[in-house]
Structure 1
Amino acid sequence: MPRRLIVAITGATGFVYGARALELLRPLDIETHLILSKSADLTRRYETAITREALHELADVVHPAGDIGASLSSGSFRTLGMLVAPCSVKTMSEIAAGTTTGLISRAADVVLKERRRLVLMLRETPLHLGHLRTMTALTEMGAILFPPVPAFYTRPASIEAMVDNSVARVLDLFDIEIDGMPRWGENLHPPGREQDREP
């Protein structure tokens, strides 16, 4: 069976997270299935120089967001799970409520019911009580909420380095390893401290 991962991009700010995930997955033995929402296509134009055609070329399969009958809408179509990067509050709320009005929320619903990994890179701040309750409900349903909070202990030299670290950490959750990712206690240690050794 091919190792397949669904990557959905919604209209929240942070389009680069989904695009970079596809770039990092491209050379790996992972079949990527992209779903791009209508709002995400607008955000793409606001935030990046990447064309729709170039984005589509990064994925193995591209599914229209309105194609509720796509392969991803069936639990018999096996995947490693689904990454929503970035994830808007609207999409998060639809998934939590089981409102499967489009392929993104339907595919996420399938991933949850089949007990596969669903990771949402939620982009919203500050959070009100309704957001927090929705996040709690999704966590109880088995989803993982992963706001893309940058790690500064890696001493990133650029925005790109911060994005790469967040995306690599997310892909770790699917047991997909990205070469070169700084890991605390492995290839990354506090200044002036040698690698931990057993006495």
Structure 2
Amino acid sequence: MRIVVGVTGASGVIMSRYLLKALKSVDNCEVHLVVSEGARKTWELETGLPLSTLLNLADHVHDNKNQAASIASGSFVTDGMIIMPCSMKSLAGIVCGYADDLIQRSADVCLKEGRKVVLVPREMPFGKVHLRNLLHASDLGCVIVPPVLTFYNHPETIEDQISHITGKILLQFGLRQEGFRPWDGTGG
């Protein structure tokens, strides 16, 4: 399996670290990571961790300005892309086909090739433009997985909440995250 992960400058960049850890635990999963400049700044402001703790979890790290990267071509076969978190700016670029950077170009490639694109939008509240763009993204074939809180699994920490979200994302690719507790009809 080969997955592209884009990290944009929306709040919640730490979630991408949990996602990469989950993908790293999957056998034979090759991760191509692209981190926007905004995400690098947000990482510094929100996490207190060196960015290398994220970058070192990927098999390949691509510069967001490098539109000649392998993942910018449809002939480079992937199983799809996850953008976590997905800023409203990136969302707007994706739905308009304005592939101004590698993250947007990679999403564009996945969509044109019929590959899975999972967007994890981070904004609250959503404005009408955001909602319109999310609907348009869904109409284009993107799967929208907002990072909402879940309680049926009885989370005790923020890490439990994030792990549940990453588990839901992995399900989109037919993958199962260790410790993921799906709804079983009994409340946990």
Alignment-derived partner of residue 187 in structure 2: 190
Normalised TM-score (structure 1):
0.91
Q: Is the 2:2–2:79 Cα contact (8 Å) retained in structure 1?
A: yes
Name 1:137's counterpart in structure 2. Answer: 136
Report which of the two structures shows the higher radius of gyration computed on alpha carbons.
Answer: 1
- Give 1:49 deviation, angstroms: 2.8
**2:75 corresponds to which residue?**
76
The separation in 2 between residues aligned to 1:161 and 1:108, in whole angstroms, is 28
1:123 matched to 2:122? The reply is yes
Aligned length: 187
- In the TM superposition, 1:45-84 aligns within 5 A as 45-84=44-83
> Which residue is 1:164 aligned to?
163
Equivalent position SS for 1:58: coil
Structure 1 runs of 4+ aligned residues shifted over 3 Å read: none
Corresponding residue for residue 7 of structure 2: 9
Equivalent residue for 1:196?
none
Aligned sequence identity (%):
36
Distance 1:131 1:85 in 2: 16
Q: 2:18 aligns with which of 13, 17, 20?
A: 20
Equivalence for 1:195: none
Q: Which moved more, 1:54-63 or 1:85-94?
A: 54-63
Q: Distance in 1 between matches of 2:102 and 2:36?
A: 9
TM-superposed CA distance for 1:128, in Å, is 1.6
- CA deviations on 1:71-93 (whole Å, 9 max, x unpaired) are 00111111110000000000000
Report how far residue 139 of structure 1 moved. Answer: 0.8
Residues 18-27 or 84-93, more deviating: 18-27
Alignment-mate amino acid for residue 21 of structure 2: E
* Structure 2: runs of 5 or more not aligned: none
Worse-superposed segment, 138-147 or 87-96: 138-147
Q: Is the 8 A contact 2:44 2:51 kept in 1?
A: no
CA distance in 2, matches of 1:190, 1:64: 43
Please say if residues 6 and 103 of structure 2, whose CA atoms lie closer than 8 Å, have aligned partners that are also in contact.
Answer: yes
